[in-house]
Chain A
Amino acid sequence: MAQMNMLQAILSAQKCMLERDDNVMIFGQDVGYFGGVFRATEGLQAEFGAQRVFDTPISENGIIATAIGMSINGMRPVAEIQFSDYIYPAFDQIASEASRIRYRSGGEYSTNITIRTPCGGGIRGGQTHSQSPEGIFTHISGIKVVMPSNPYDAKGLLISSIESNDPVLFFEPKRLYNGPFYGDPNAPSIGWDTHEKGEVPEGHYSIPLAEAEITRTGEELTIITYGTMVHVVETAVKQTGVDAEIIDLRCLSPIDYDTIINSVNKTGRCLVAHEATKVGGFGAEILSIIQENCFWKLRAPIERVTGWDIPYPHAFEWEYFPVPKRVGKAITRIMEA
């Protein structure tokens, strides 16, 4: 075991896979010599050579299209999109191509690409360095969508993503790179050494995709969340003192139905929290799953706490972000219903 922050864990997963599988190739904007704008690929080019780890032209469309092509010719590409806010030029290659190659060829062809991309706000990045576009991709049949909330999961899930023979979109909540974030931007930052999930095995291990994790067991209320909000929700639960069960989905598509359904059937109450905007967001899907499967066990209306239905405004980052206070208010409403 070693102490790692989330970036080190992501770096370690990539290193591990470069060592184990000669077909793994890692590329994207600034990932080669420089090691990525967040340093998530630091040192990989020096260690594994530029044939395997390299910079690409600034074309998200080109990055994903060529990744697909490489995979068809036997490689296992791991492509970085520098910010998930910049993934849209690649949308056609993801939504119409990567996601459907297996289906449309009757299973003859398939692509194994992994797309890593930082997401989420909280770093004063303004509207083009803060987005959480996961809901746009969970709507697509044929691409797996993963979002870890801590270093241990990040490494295990990234290894599974790279090993998967299906395309995977791996979102990295950038606010969590250097430490857990409990929702107070004015609190001094703390590192992952304060969190048990900052303990990460140095070697290979994997966490199956589509297995949610119950990060806190409880009886009164189920809170379903993922990414940065896992920690924010934890704060709200502490502040309200409610005996909540917190589910960190970790993988949004495919989704772990059993963990969600069993928990909500047990508690009879449910809150869904995500940083992304509300309308058509992934929370709406979770609510539907619950109403389809747990309706007769519900004791209160299900609520959603999300980012507002607007772009991430630079000056109002913390009015936009679903802070613990907003989560707490929703918890209280549900408990008093």
Chain B
Amino acid sequence: MTKHQSSRQNNLHIPEPKFRPGQTNDFAHLKIPNVDEAPKPAIDCNPHNIRDLAYGLIRVLDDEGQAGGAWNINITPDILRQGLKDMLLTRLFDDRMQLLHRTGKISFYMKCTGEEAISVAHSLALKNSDMVFPSYRNQGILISRGYPLLDMMCQCLSNSRDNCKGRQLPIMYSWKAGNFFTISGNLATQFSQAVGWAMAEARKGGNRVCTTFVGDGSTAEIDFHSALTFAATFNPPVILNIVNNQWAISSNQVVAGGERTTFAARGIGVGLPSLRVDGNDFLAVYAASKWAADRARAGYGATLIEHFTYRVAPHSTSDDPSAYRPADEDKNWPLGDPLERLKTHLINIDEWSEAQHEQLAEQYTAEIKAEYKQAESYGTLTSGARPDVSSMFEDIFEEITPNRIRQRQELGL
């Protein structure tokens, strides 16, 4: 939409992504900085002096898969390999579950393809005792923290072994033992709750950190803004992560105000240290997350991180992106594929090989298959064992109330 099409003096500005189906997006308009451009401040820095980091892009891996720049913190090969493994498992798991949806075994699914580095690197940079208030695209954290695939599958199948008792849509996991909060279908609500969790941690004098995630589109919700204001006011040990994957269902990030400034810059207005990171660069996400966690643990408070990435997958199994974005957009994404980039780096430093990679992929594929076989023995949404039907009247309150007991009887249970 150009401003001068109509005879009106003052047209309403309607943001539009630059490219639509049938066009080619070469992302030439994106400026990708080199790895040596972003300085790494001390954790006790004055947030006002690091504002540039909210507009640049923290990168460690260059296009050849070499690590460099100030944010290269020499992560051990063991951690890098662990990251690669978790990312691979996450991707293969997603592919398998998507397939299950096609065969009608589960009602719904959401993949995180292309975004695996964010959850996995962040998870590895934090401690498993740190608290997570997740969005629905953080399955990489569950996998990295060792939540059994069987549990994930049973939740997706709403079967007799589903810890959410068949109440939630697939992927709306909850894992208390893993310090992973129950996922909400209502966007952004977790963001300000996480700040509250961290406020309590500060009050208790504890040293656990809280981390939370929200999408680019969801930054428009009121809870995002409450989170920033409370985080700036009380400065508790929280990491506020924005996953900018360019899309919110069919709405490009320009519809969330992305034309004007970066999402990381949202933090500058309230005075929070705010980082913008190449979300497809495992080493960069790890370093930025570690920096934020170190700050929080040392008592310096909250940090905002924008992870700059691309949603390769459809929004969900209910979505067909070919209706609103160029078909090859993901292939042209200039920050590449996070798995490939980390793999190349590990091969470059002689810590991994194509053969090992192939073998691991085969092993994981077999494991997922075996786990699924077991999961199905506990039933699926449409066949076999289900959670106990009468349990649907429970957990409204701590104690069941008389009207619900009556309703349960009315149902013949």
Query: Which A residues lie at the B interface, using CB under 8 A?
Result: 29-30, 32-34, 37, 50-51, 54-62, 85-86, 88-89, 124-129, 278-279, 308-311, 313-316, 319-320, 326
Contacts and interface: CB of A to CB of B under 8 A. Distances in A.
Given A86-B186, A126-B185, 12 more contacts: A34-B323, A89-B222, A124-B107, A127-B167, A127-B168, A127-B185, A278-B407, A308-B404, A309-B403, A311-B167, A313-B392, A316-B166
A316 B162 CA distance: 13
A315 B404 contact: no
B386 A315 contact: yes
Given A129-B185, A278-B403, A314 B107 contact: yes
B256 to A, nearest CB: 5
A320 B411 CA distance: 9
Given A50-B1, A128-B186, A308 B407 contact: yes
A319 B392 CA distance: 9
Given A30-B249, A310-B392, A310-B393, A58 B318 contact: no
A57 B250 contact: no
Contacts of B98: none
Interface string B147-180: 0000000000010001001111100100000000
B324 interface: yes
10 contacts: A32-B14, A58-B187, A61-B221, A88-B186, A89-B222, A128-B184, A278-B403, A308-B407, A316-B166, A319-B411
Contacts of A32: 14
Interface string B106-137: 01100000000000000000000000000000
B249 A29 contact: yes
B30 interface: no
B377 interface: no
A59 B392 contact: no
Contact of A319 (B165, B187, B217, B389): B389
Nearest to B106: A124
Interface string B372-404: 000000000100001101001100100000011
Given A54-B14, A279-B403, A30 B220 contact: no
A276 B389 CA distance: 19
B257 interface: yes
A4 B129 CA distance: 56
A315 B14 CA distance: 41
B11 interface: yes
Nearest to A86: B186
Given A37-B249, A55-B255, A126 B172 contact: yes
A61 B222 contact: yes
Given A85-B185, A124-B107, A33 B404 contact: no
Contacts of A33: 16, 20, 250, 324
A278 B324 CA distance: 41
A308 B162 CA distance: 22
Contact of A62 (B168, B217, B220, B381): B220
A320 B250 contact: no
A315 B324 CA distance: 32
Contact of B166 (A50, A55, A60, A315): A315
Contacts of A61: 221-222
A53 to B, nearest CB: 9
Interface string B6-49: 10000110101000100000000000000000000000000000
Contacts, number: 122
B252 to A, nearest CB: 9
A295 B167 CA distance: 40
Contacts of B190: none
A125 to B, nearest CB: 7
Given A58-B256, A315-B387, A308 B172 contact: no
Nearest to A83: B185
Interface residues of B, number: 49
Contact of A56 (B185, B255, B389): B255
A59 B257 CA distance: 12
Nearest to A308: B407
B303 interface: no
Nearest to A88: B186
B218 interface: yes
Nearest to A29: B251
Interface string B249-277: 11100011100000000000000000000
Nearest to B20: A33
A253 to B, nearest CB: 25
Nearest to A50: B14
Contact of A51 (B12, B158, B324, B403): B12
A168 B407 CA distance: 33
Contacts of A319: 389, 392, 411
A306 to B, nearest CB: 9
Contacts of A326: 410
A197 to B, nearest CB: 27
A50, A126, A279, A319: most-surrounded residue (chain B CB, <10 A): A126
B248 interface: yes
B220 A125 contact: no
A320 B108 CA distance: 20
A57 B256 contact: yes
Most B CB within 10 A of own CB, among A37, A62, A315 = A315
Given A57-B217, A314-B166, A309 B407 contact: yes
Contacts of A89: 221-223
Nearest to A124: B107
Contacts of A62: 220
Given A34-B323, A57-B220, A62-B220, A308 B167 contact: no
A94 B95 CA distance: 42
Nearest to B11: A51
Contacts of A86: 186-187
Contacts of A85: 185-186
Q: Which of A32, A57, A320 has the most chain B CB atoms inside 10 A of its CB?
A: A57
